[in-house]
Amino acid sequence: MPRTLSTADDRREAVLDSAIAVFAVGGYLGTPIAAVAKDADISPAYVFKLFPSKEGLFVAALERCFERIEQALEAGARGADGETPTVILDRMGDAYAELIGDRSLLMLQVHAQSASDVPEIREALRRGLARITRFAAIRSGASPDEVQRFIAYGQLCHLVVTAGLEDVPEEWARTLTNGIQHP
């Protein structure tokens, strides 16, 4: 049977998927390109052919992360078409909570924040936040204050999930987790 070789585009997609998963675990500084290549089952040299630098690969993974977030927010918003801006934002938030049930996208964002002293990563993070903020505002029709609360609530959700606060029985943790549930 003839063997079908993957295209550079297919391999690029595989490398991006691997980069999200591997950078989510080890972060930008703690992840060598060889680890991403191993996960994608290709050579490090081929990774560098597709992405000439580690910064470029991390930025591309972060951009893909924000694409997936926007897709999830759109799916949530579609389920609330015709509703108030508040309901649309709530459905977007539900869809986002479902998306980050797989912690890779969440942890990639956390690692991007921790590596924001790298100019390329800081700019990619800003572009992603701008993209999501604009999308939430336009798609929901919400006011700037409502969108700010939506984004702030999302950041609180990040904190709850990354710190495992849902398992802490103390009053301070219950205060932070009140009303927050994740899949």
> Each residue of 25-81: pLDDT tens digit?
999 999 999 999 999 999 999 999 999 999 999 999 999 999 999 999 999 999 998
> Each residue of 112-158: pLDDT tens digit?
999 999 999 999 999 999 999 999 999 999 999 999 999 999 999 88
Query: DSSP readout, 67-102?
Result: HHHHHHHHHHHHTTTTS-HHHHHHHHHHHHHHHTTS
What is the pLDDT at residue 182? Answer: 62
Q: Where along the chain do its domains lie?
A: 8-177
Q: Nearest CA to 98 among 109, 90, 108? A: 90
pLDDT band (50, 70, 90) for residue 183: low
Question: What is the fold of 8-177?
Answer: Tetracycline Repressor; domain 2 (1.10.357)
> Each residue of 62-78: pLDDT tens digit?
999 999 999 999 999 99
**Residue 104 contacts by C-beta under 8 Å, 6 or more apart in sequence?**
20, 21, 24
Q: How far apart are CA 137 and CA 169, in angstroms?
A: 35
